[in-house]
Amino acid sequence: MYCRFDISGAKWKLIEPHLTGQPGQRGGIAKDNWKFINTVVWILKTGSPWRDLTPDYGKWSTVHQRFIRWQ
């Protein structure tokens, strides 16, 4: 599903190399970095609390925990 706050493919190509959780890096491999970044952008743009995260972005507590570790 596309949300109006989702980042475009062109912007994603600029961001992707700078994220952790990629093959060849220490630690685990991230499942879906693009979806995670879109989720963070949605939270920041809407100002919604994590508990109001739409199910399309995943379980709010899991995404929030990943954000806490990532920040």
Decide if 3 is inside a domain.
Answer: no
pTM summary value:
0.76
Decide if 37 is inside a domain.
Answer: yes
Decide if 18 is inside a domain.
Answer: no
pLDDT at 26: 66
Q: Which domain holds residue 41?
A: 32-46+55-71
If you write DSSP's letter for every residue of the chain in order, what string do you get?
Answer: ---TTSPPHHHHHHHGGG-SS-TTSSSPPPS-HHHHHHHHHHHHHH---GGG--GGG--HHHHHHHHHHH-
Residues of the chain predicted below pLDDT 50: none
pLDDT at 1: 57
pLDDT at 28: 63
Decide if 68 is inside a domain.
Answer: yes
Q: Count how many domains the chain has.
A: 1
